[in-house]
Structure formats: C-alpha cells, structure tokens
Amino acid sequence: MRSLCLFLALALTARAELKLPAIIGDHMVLQQKLANPVWGWDAPGTEVTVTFAGQTKTAKADAKGKWSVKLDAVPANAKPATMMIKGSSTRELTNILVGEVWVCSGQSNMGFNVSSTWDADLDIAQAKHPLIHIISVPQVGTQEIQDDFKGQWEECTPANVGSFTAVGYHFGRVLHEMLGVPVGLIDNAWGGSACEAWVKRDVLENDPRFASIIAKWKQTEATFTQEAFEKQLADHKTKVADWAKARGEAIKAGKLFTAQAPRAPQNPMTGQHRPGNLYAGVLHPTIGYGIKGAIWYQGESNASRAKEYRDLFPFMIEHWRKEWQQGDFPFYWVQLADFKPYQTEPGDSDWAELREAQTLTMKKLPHTGQCVITDLGEANDIHPKNKRDVAERLARWALVNDYGQKLIYRSPELKDAKFDGGKALLTFDFAPSGLRTVDIDEPQGFAICGEDKKWVWAKASIIGGSKKGTNQIEVSSPNVPKPVAVRYAWADNPVCNVYSAEGLPVTPFRTDDFPMITDPANPNSVEAQNAKRAEDLKKLMEARKKAAEAKAKAGKK
C-alpha cells in the first residue's frame, strides 16, 4: 500500500506543470504605473516565483492549484523585457512591453475588422507597429465560468491587423503616436451581443430591475431541446441548397439575383444573447489583467429595450469595475450611428431612445464618455465602414481625461431650453468656440411641438449666425404658436448638421419626458405594437385555416 501511494505521488509530481493563461504570455503589454497581477496554475502547494524588471514575487498554489502575484508598478518601457516564472517547471516569457492597455468590447461594430473598412489597403500596409501588441478572445458562449481561452499576444503587423477590430486598432494607433509608449489591445467583441450577456448571470438574477430579462430566458431554457435545434439545422441546409440552386439558375440565365443566403439558426444556449454567456465565456478569462480602461461599441441589439438600457448599461459598467478591482477605470463608448430609412415626419424612434440612454449613463457614472457619430453612419448598412473617425473621437476622450492632452474631446450637449414668445432658446455646453453647420447654413434636424404633442419640423438659427458661432440656437415653427418641447436628431437616421466649431456633432436630445416607445408600460410601445401584430397574424392564420377546412368540407359534400 505504501509503495502504491509513493508511486501515485511520484506520478502526480511527474505530471505537475506550471500553466499560464493565454492573457499572460510572450509579447504581452503590462499596464504602466499599475501593480499588475500575474497568475496561473500549478500543483497545489507549489511555491511559484515571478521575476520581472529587477523584482521577484512569490506565491503558493492553493488547493485548486491557482496562484497569483502582484508586480510592483513600473513606468512605460518600449524595450522588450523578459519575465521568468518558476514553479514545478519554468517558463520564460519574452518581448514584454510596458505601456497602455485597453479592452475593446461590444458587438459587431467593435468587432468589425480593419479589412472591411474604407482605405483598408492603406491601413493594412501601414500597420507596421512593433510597439502595438494585440490579442483576440474567441467567441465562447456558456454559463460555465471559463478561466482561460485560446489565443496569444502578437505584434501588430500588416499580416494580422486585417482581422483585428478596426475601432480598437485605430484607437490604439492614435494613443501610441500621441503618447510615444507601447499599447496593448484586448479584443473580445462579439457581433449581435446583448448587453445582458456581458453581466454575470447571478448578478442579474439578484436585481429586480432585470426580472423580465431573466423570466424570458428561463422560459426559453425550459422549452429548448437539442432535437428541435438539430431539425432547424437540417431545414437550414435544405434552404441553402434551394437558394444555391436558384442562384445558379439565375446566373446561367444572365439574370440579376439579389436574394441573400439563408442565415443559419443559432443555438440560443450558446449564443451571445443569453444572460451571463459572454461574461462567463469571453470576459472572465481576462478579468483582473492590468488595464487602463475599456472602449465599447454596442447597443443595436438592445435598441428595442432602450428604457431598460438606462439601467442595464450603467449596471454592466459598474459590474465590470467591481470584478476587475482596479477602481473606476475609464469606460468610453460609441453612441449609435445613423441607420435605416430617413423619417419624413418627426416622431418617435427606438434608436434615438437608446442614444439617450447612452448619454444619460455619462451623467450617472464617473470616468465615462461617449463619442457621437450621427454623421458617420450609412442608411443601408448597420456596419458603417468609416471606423477611423469613430476611433479618433474615442481617443480624444482618453487623451484629454487620462493623459492630460489639451484637445476638444466632447460633443456639444444641451444645457438649457427656455420657451417664450412662440420660440425656444437652446443653450449648449461644450461648444467653447461656438456652433456651426455643415452643407447648408440653416440648422437641420430640429422638431417642435405644443401641448398636443404633435411634432413638426422646425426652423432653427444659430444666434449671431453660423459664421460667428455662439452656443445658442433659436427654434420655432408658425404651426406651433406655443411650443413646449424640442427634439434634435431624434430619429433612427436623423438628418442633422450642427457641430461645434471644432467639428464634433451636437449630441441628439429631447427636452420632453413623453412616454417612451421602448417602455413596456406604454400601451403604444414597440413591444405592445409587436405583440398586437403577432396576435393579429395569429388570428388571420386561424381564420384562413378555418376557411380552408370549411371549403374542404363543402367540397366533400
């Protein structure tokens, strides 16, 4: 028995090996002026030493084999360094830099890669940046907390930048060129992801504000079967085959074929919408790594629930900060771009309400900010290709607030609205050199209403004229003698043209607090309208079925 125990002990010792997560490896960038955590796994009880930049830190692997140390803060260093980690085995990590590290997160417009942007050929050819290092986290949707992922840090080169996030790359490039220090970028974006997927499941479940999200998903989880999903996959294969046949026939006949290939069904259990899935599978393996902050581009998937997003988005940011345990690190996001058909008449918009929720988040949380891009979208593409300007507007926030640069960084925002004499006088913050218009002299995008809440397009003018530039705009309409509210750029795809003199677009706004169409309590909400359409369709199909059955019965007689 003693011999057997000795044999087993020797066997376990022989298999014992120092393991590091993907985020800790060759070519990584450590955050300057921060006590950077370094962690990994080894046999329980093993003493592990980490040596870097003239310092040595020691830790002991716990009962589960996890160990962690914190390095003393060091300044930026562009000279590649080595880190030695010794436990039951030894790892030597090379080409380590110290500089600024940012997480690049969100959905498809953050994931949108350099290869797909305007001027991609030029950007890729120029991407020779040995001091910018990048790493991407694979898309793993799961409820099981993941401690690691498959990936590695790499130097940014023309060979690999094409598949990297365009917003993230250009953001990092600007910081590197302006600050002259190494930059590390962590890309974990997932197209179509919902905000609730980025929050730990039990944290969401314990907050009553998000009970409807959890209730919906519990119903989905209770009714989901793998067999039904397999059938959807089989049906999809048939549809793709039919589509390919129709396409081939059209090409052979010289006809135009515009139909898109059928989209594959997605397993909701492993997708990017299920609450907690992306926290567990994508975010968690990187939590705790030394960072400066995060940039975020998301919201499209939550637009129909913009009222809820007012709570959910700041909740997610606070959750990340608590998990990271690095204080209120900077968190900057991109407001939704302009998209979808133009509205010929002023009115309500779920995308406008989502933009408002994003703007309100700045007022709720410290060290946050947004770049406004209602001038950079494309009506017929939810993925606008101009990502360089988006990234540079984000970079302005970081350069000013985190690195002390003297730049204009914030879009003008409504400060005050006064109604008198049939007109509205609007005053704006963050327009130090005044306001101006582009394309035409008269400000576009303003709507006004009276007590009847009927919106009409308004005539607007910058006080003193666009060329002189003040921070006030006067708005009126002959059809609204007693206005009570004004809106600007309040549409999915607004036609608007007012900027700060320095070139940043005015933030969309409304002065009213009328019921939101994304508020489930509103009888005219998007949710209520969709439910009514679904019910009407159900009744129509039932009526057709009964009519068909009656006809068939009459035919038999």
- The verdict on 139 and 160 lying in the same domain is yes
- The verdict on 277 and 323 lying in the same domain is yes
**Total residues belonging to the chain:** 557
Is the Cα torsion angle 205, 208, 214, 215 positive or negative in sign?
positive
At residue 13, does pLDDT exceed 50? no
Contact 89, 18 (CB under 8 A): yes
- The verdict on 477 and 504 lying in the same domain is yes
Q: CA-to-CA distance for 261 and 95, rounded, in angstroms?
A: 44
Token pair, residue 228, equals 């039904």
In a domain, 229, yes or no: no
Q: CA-to-CA distance for 544 and 227, rounded, in angstroms?
A: 30
- The verdict on 342 and 432 lying in the same domain is no
pLDDT at position 466, please? 65
DSSP class of residue 72? P
- Chosen domain end from 384, 409, 434: 409
Nearest to 69 by CA among 27, 136, 24: 24
pLDDT at position 532, please? 63
In a domain, 248, yes or no: no
- The verdict on 168 and 208 lying in the same domain is yes
- The verdict on 73 and 109 lying in the same domain is yes
In a domain, 209, yes or no: yes
pLDDT at position 547, please? 78
- Chosen domain end from 369, 394, 409: 409
pLDDT in tens, 236-284: 999 999 999 999 999 999 999 889 899 999 999 999 999 999 999 999 9
pLDDT in tens, 293-313: 999 999 999 999 999 999 999
Contact 36, 292 (CB under 8 A): no
Nearest to 480 by CA among 438, 430, 424: 424
Q: CA-to-CA distance for 95 and 125, rounded, in angstroms?
A: 23
pLDDT at position 555, please? 75
By DSSP bridging, strand 423-429 and strand 472-476 are antiparallel
- The verdict on 326 and 371 lying in the same domain is yes
- The verdict on 65 and 119 lying in the same domain is yes
Query: Which residues have CB under 8 Å from 267's CB, separation 6+?
Result: 229
In a domain, 517, yes or no: no
pLDDT at position 15, please? 57
In a domain, 11, yes or no: no
Contact 170, 134 (CB under 8 A): no
- The verdict on 397 and 433 lying in the same domain is no
- The verdict on 123 and 217 lying in the same domain is yes
Give 403: exposed, middle or buried? Use CB within 10 Å, 0-12, 13-18, 19+: middle
Q: What are the beta bridge partners of residue 91?
A: 85
- Chosen domain end from 393, 409, 425: 409
Q: Residue 455's domain spans which residues?
A: 413-510
pLDDT at position 6, please? 41
The reported pTM is 0.92
- The verdict on 72 and 201 lying in the same domain is yes
pLDDT in tens, 65-89: 999 999 999 999 999 999 999 999 9
- The verdict on 128 and 185 lying in the same domain is yes
What is the average pLDDT score of the chain? 94
At residue 143, does pLDDT exceed 80? yes
- At residue 525 the predicted structure's pLDDT band, cuts being 50, 70 and 90, is confident
Which residue, chain included where needed, has tokens 């970079």? 395
pLDDT at position 464, please? 84
In a domain, 4, yes or no: no
Contact 303, 336 (CB under 8 A): yes
pLDDT at position 545, please? 75
- Please report how the helices 306-324 and 350-364 are oriented relative to each other, as an axis angle in degrees rounded to 10: 40
In a domain, 259, yes or no: no
Q: How far is CA 122 from CA 119, 128, 295, 389, in A?
A: 5, 12, 24, 15
Q: What is the CATH number of the domain that holds 317?
A: 3.40.50.1110
- Our count of domains for the chain comes to 3
Neighbours of 68 (CB within 10 A): 15
Q: CA-to-CA distance for 412 and 503, rounded, in angstroms?
A: 10
pLDDT at position 531, please? 66
In a domain, 234, yes or no: no
At residue 3, does pLDDT exceed 90? no
pLDDT in tens, 400-440: 999 999 999 999 999 999 999 999 999 999 999 999 999 99
